[in-house]
Structure 1
Amino acid sequence: MDGARVLIAGAGGIGLACATAFAYVGARIAIFDANPEKLRAASGSLTSECYLREVDLAVPEQVKTAVDAVEDEFGGLDVVLHAVGINIRKPSLQLEPDEWLKVLKVNLDSAFWLAQAAGRHMVPRRSGRIILVSSVSSQLAHPDHAPYAATKAGLNQMMRVMAREWANDGVTLNAIAPGYIETELTIGYLEKEENRQRLTSLVPMGRLGVPQELTGPVLFLASPHSSFITGQVLYIDGGRTLV
């Protein structure tokens, strides 16, 4: 992966952990995020220079412009990782229309626009790796997760369709589906000890995961070693989906 040109959408949590791992193996890194403070924090925590850009990934025009700019800056892109997501934990009967649409825009719309923008460069070059961050919620029916679960299940099937469309063009698309990981997305929920204990009790390994445990699988899917793998969802969940 030394010298690989990598674009990561998401400057915190899983995205930052993966950026750190890619930088460690010598990749050139670009990071997109809608939050300038997260971008600054990511820049300060990485030991290598990276390209940072504030982008609203739910706006197709912004995504296309930003991806084109990174392509020009790096002379191409080898890997794109979408690690952006939000959750609004509410019973289905209490969800407001704007809440439903907000989760869809951040979690699903942005993944499509990013993959499309990257694919328009990768397909003509007949080379590229696109990796999306899904969730065990794409398979499990967690209460109070209706929009989040819908977006992650939709993400998986969208990825499969794109993977089939581009399989003969040298571009692979895969997803990782983390289980219960301690990130900024879950930190508020896990502050309550009863929530932490309940989630931990559902994991056969008996513990929660950390973002660094996702970086190895992401590096593998980004590497030449995964060249015959496309359209797959890799569950990284301590056995959660076994029960």
Structure 2
Amino acid sequence: MPEFDVNEIDFARLGAPVGAKLAIVGGHGGIGQAVVRRSIEIGLDVVALDTPNAIEQYPLPEGIRSIPVDVLDPQQIAVAVNTVREHWGQLDGLVYLSGVGERPTPVSAFGIDQWDLAQDVNLRGAFLVSKAFMMLMKPGTGSMVFISSGLAVNVEAGFAAYSASKAGLIAYAKVLAKELAPSIRVNVVAPGLVQTPFLGGGTGRGAASNSTLEQWFGDDGAKAMRAAIPLGRVAVPDDIVAPILFLLGPASRFMTGQTLHVNGGRYLP
């Protein structure tokens, strides 16, 4: 298979117009950092929101504003909203990337606290953040993008909590899309496997940046996972950035309530 060259992607043709204002929640994570960096490269204004731990351990380039926030704390979210309002006034786009995952664990061995954490960060946090920020979205052109997962619809054993939370996120986004139309569009990107620190639990939880499929699934499991992807490789963050930027921009102006599956052919809806 030919070597993949991410530089072949023309991000400037995909995203919102130059000067658009984006808030990236989870902006210091693996995909989040890629979204922030590519957005800056094509002339967008970006503010990143993430946990204090992620902001400290995974800094963004100098000049990019970061706001510490706990997505489960309504008061902290309100402070973040006020900070963004004072800085910009209105937003063109909001991306919710915050999420947690766990190594595959059967339901029989899964703890209640583990279950609650997945539902809280992956779903409740998306609800709290989007509800608070919708007042800042620019009417007529504002766009929200939630990051779900292929495991929301193409489930695997061991991912009960994660799959349930991400399936709920898709349903929530559909409802929100109907409620906010025609003023604000709401869509979802559902990635397959992506090589990021998320494989170790996420940057917000101090995950190592060198987490691998082998560490998560074991050697045989990792080999099987790669073999199941028709395009022959695991995604890199930029593979997910392009669909996100597309959904934020005018090229997707007649799309709302939709889910884009980005998985190399692993799941074909």
TM-score (norm 1): 0.92
Q: 1:210 aligns with which of 227, 236, 255?
A: 236
Which secondary structure does the structure 2 equivalent of 1:240 belong to? Answer: coil
Q: How do residues 1-243 of structure 1 correspond to structure 2 at under 5 angstroms?
A: 1-10=17-26, 11-36=28-53, 38-40=54-56, 42-44=58-60, 46=61, 49-88=63-102, 89-122=104-137, 125-168=139-182, 170-186=183-199, 187-191=211-215, 192-242=218-268
Question: Which deviations, in whole Å up to 9, do the C-alpha atoms of 1:85-112 show, x marking residues without a partner?
Answer: 1112311011121111111111111111
1:54 is displaced (CA, Å) by 1.0
Would you say the 8 A contact 2:149–2:192 is kept in 1?
Answer: yes
Measure, in 1, the Cα distance between the counterparts of 2:152 and 2:255. 20
Q: Which structure exhibits the higher relative contact order, with contacts defined as CA atoms closer than 8 Å and separated by 6 or more residues?
A: 2
1:196 CA drift (Å): 2.1
Distance 2:137 2:46 in 1: 17
Count of residues in correspondence between the two structures: 238
Distance in structure 2 (CA, Å) of the matches to 1:42 and 1:219: 22
Q: Considering fraction of residues, name the structure with more helix.
A: 1
For residues 66-85 of structure 1, the C-alpha deviation after alignment (integer angstroms, 9 at most, x for no partner) is 12211221221111101111
Structure 1 residues 20 and 190, CA, compared in 2 at 3 Å: closer, same or farther?
Answer: farther
Cα deviation, 1:24-66, whole Å, max 9, x if unaligned, reads 1111111111133x2245544x3x6222111000112211221
Amino acid aligned to 2:116: L
1:28 counterpart letter in structure 2: D
| TM-score, normalising length: structure 2 | 0.84
Identity of aligned residues (%): 30
CA root-mean-square deviation: 1.7
Gaps of 5+ in 1: none
Q: Which amino acid aligns with 2:134?
A: G
Name the CA distance, whole Å, in 2 between partners of 1:49 and 1:41.
Answer: 17
- Structure 2 alignment gaps of length 5 or more: 1-16, 200-210
Distance in 1 of aligned mates of 2:214 and 2:77: 32
SS in 2 for 1:154: helix
- Decide which moves more: 52-61 or 142-151: 52-61
Offset of 1:8 from its aligned partner?
0.5
Q: What are the superposed Cα offsets for residues 111-135 of structure 1, whole Å, 9 maximum, x if unpaired?
A: 1111111112227x44411001010
